[in-house]
Amino acid sequence: MGIVDEIKQRIDIVEVVSQYAALKKTGRTFRALCPFHSEKHPSFFVYPEQQNWHCFGACNAGGDVFSFVMKKEGIDFGEALRLLAQKAGVTIPSRFEPEAGKEERERLYQVNQAAAQYFNNLLLNSPAGEKAGEYFAGRGLSPKTIADFQLGFSLNSWDALKQYLMERGYTENELLTAGLVIEAEVGGTHDRFRNRLMFPIFDIRGRIVGFGARVPDDSLPKYLNSPQTLIFDKSSCLYGINLATAAIRQQDLVVIVEGYMDVITAHQNGFNNVVASMGTSVTEKQVGTLKRLTRNMALALDADAAGEEAMLRAVGYENTLEAEVKVIILPKGKDPDNVIREDAKIWQNFLEEALPIVDYTFNMLTAELDLNTAKGKSLAVDKLLPIVAEMKDTVRQAHYLQKLARLVKVSQHSLEATLGKIKPSQGKRQAKEPGQERITQARRPLLSSPVEEYCLALLLQHPELKSRNEGLSPEYFENSENREIFTAWQQANAPSSLKDGLDSAIWEHLDSLITRSLPANQIEQKYANCVLRLREKFLRGLEIKRAELLALEAESGGTAAELAKLEEQGIEVSVQLGEVFTQRSRGNQKQRR
């Protein structure tokens, strides 16, 4: 999730606005005298469900929490972002501070590289590293593989690494920041990694951001990782990604496994599109990184680990990727490392037999139910319908709805009715693990805006559209970051100068739009449709809000003049909506001809 989304998830617009205006709750909305213009009768509204605001008075404007703070404080997007981040308790990663911390980060990459070389040298050239060397040799690793992954070994010593690095000019503080040493309870610091097999973790650009470490025997804890640092965030790393990007692009497929050894063995056997997730589940950030390389993802899951939990998340990945996720089911107790070492051909077969993860979930969840009984049917629906409800792609959703209907021999129609009652996030909320991530994900569908993003991706990737005036206006973009990008695009003379006009916190979002894969045909037609849909969405939103307001006013006995004015504005919106429909039907006729 981007930093902008993260802030939005954590901040409640009602709370923010109430610091500037005396909000009063009226039904599902909050109302106040507009903080932007002077008025006697409140025409300013905040909508907690949509997390946005609108002034029906002189401003006749609205937006999200960012645009509110920008307007109210008279600051730009970047400043609003930092202000709200502070309120939300979100630390803005230093990579978004263009220059600040750059040197510090550079230094961390260097110290990690120096440590990796030290560990690697111990593995290859010291008597102490012999056992570790035997371990890797026992797993069949070649010297080339050990060099490619810069594998290493850490001594069973409290300060060997610390001394080595400090002799080379790194300070104790830098070693602490890099997570290579830790503070001891008795004071002072000591090496974090002792007597372990060392796996440097690289980012996509080939810089070492941290380390994974494994014990050379069966003692516990088996694995130890670098802590979160300025440059290491476990949830966004993918082990092996530095060596896998070319193959992922080429094969248009990424295979995700769990362990370091799984990746290494796969690569040594020529399966170069394999990366590991650094934990049991794949994160939204990781999927975001992979999406720039391919839409096709296959998860290699241990038969035991392939639980409901993973399945539920998978639909989230599918929504992010806008593609189907497949699953490779391994025999009980086996991991890719075992399978490939035994016979690479078997692994190849597993790959070819990968199943769409939703189909697999259907099979797995219904295997233990008796679908001839009422109880079995209702259990199947209870378990599977929330998964179907999560799907954003309506065509796929319809497909699986049909499948479920056939399975339980119930009419599709009645399932659809139940589906309508399930909020998109319900399935997630039912899952067991109530973490931060889950809560934020639950609100996510509300805040993302696929049409806005699709439209921007078209504009950014097709400069020729700039000359086409379809009447697209910044106010059609409800999300501030999208609005910012659109405005910058309007003002930029060349695509390359786009970033100059944008806060660096939005660059990541911008990059994802620029690299998003789009269909290649009928671009102008698609753009025109997009603009129509955005206009319609905007006008409809306005209409709904105005109707609510009108009802409120009528109830509380608003003056005739006010009511008339609202009616008038409402008519204006209806006329514009009518225009949208006329244009659309004209467009459809054109297509049919």
Reduced 3-state DSSP string for 19-80: CCCCCEEECCEEEECCCCCCCCCCCEEEECCCCEEEECCCCCEEECHHHHHHHHHCCCHHHH
CB of residue 230 vs Zn ion: minimum separation in angstroms?
Answer: 43
User: Judged by CB under 5 A, does residue 139 bind Zn ion?
Assistant: no
Among the listed ranges 30-38, 77-85, 144-152, 480-488, the one in contact with Zn ion (CB under 5 A) is 30-38
Which amino acid is located at 215 in the chain? V
Residue 240 touches Zn ion, criterion: CB under 5 A: no
b/e 19-45 (16+ beta carbons within 10 angstroms → b): eebebeeeeebbbbbbbbeeeeebbbb
CB of 368 or CB of 568, closer to Zn ion: 568
Candidates 9, 13, 57, 123; binder of Zn ion (CB under 5 A) is 57
Q: Does 34 interact with Zn ion (rule: CB under 5 A)?
A: yes
Q: Which of 584, 469, 487 is nearest to 537 (CA)?
A: 584
From the CB of residue 377, how many other CB atoms can be counted at a distance below 10 Å? 18
Quick check: 72 binds Zn ion (CB under 5 A)? no
Nearest residue to 581 (alpha-carbon basis) of 539, 547, 552: 539
Please report how close the Cβ of residue 27 comes to Zn ion at its closest, in angstroms.
Answer: 20
Ranges within 517-556 binding Zn ion (CB under 5 A): none
Q: What angle is formed at CA 349 by the lines to CA 347 and CA 351, rounded to 5 degrees? A: 70
Does residue 17 bind Zn ion (CB under 5 A)?
no
Burial label, 369 (beta-carbon count in 10 A; 0-12, 13-18, 19+) = middle
Q: Which of 6, 10, 33, 36 binds Zn ion (CB under 5 A)?
A: 36
Cα–chain center distance at 43: 36
Q: Which is nearer to Zn ion, 37 or 292 (CB)?
A: 37
Tell me: does residue 63 bind Zn ion (CB under 5 A).
no
Of 53-61, 140-148, 432-440, 530-538, which part binds Zn ion (CB under 5 A)? 53-61
**Which residue in 511, 458, 498, 506 sits closest to 482, CA to CA?**
506
Compute how many residues bind Zn ion; rule: CB under 5 A.
Answer: 6
Nearer to Zn ion, 55 or 84 (CB): 55
Q: Which of 10, 37, 249, 443 binds Zn ion (CB under 5 A)?
A: 37
Question: Binding to Zn ion by residue 55, rule CB under 5 A?
Answer: yes
What three-state secondary structure class fits 95? helix
Query: Which residue stretch of 35-43, 126-134, 380-388, 444-452 sits at the interface with Zn ion (rule: CB under 5 A)?
Result: 35-43
Angle subtended at Cα 112 by Cα 108 and Cα 118, rounded to the nearest 5 degrees: 145
Minimum CB separation from Zn ion for residue 36, in Å? 4
Of residues 420-459, those binding Zn ion (CB under 5 A): none
Residue type, 395: V
Hey, what are 301's tokens? 């899951």
Nearer to Zn ion, 47 or 164 (CB): 47
Contact (CB, 8 A) for 252 and 324:
no
Segment lying near Zn ion (by CB under 5 A), choices 37-45, 151-159, 210-218, 456-464: 37-45
Nearer to Zn ion (CB atom), residue 57 or residue 210: 57
Residues of this chain that interact with Zn ion (CB under 5 A) are: 34, 36-37, 55, 57, 59
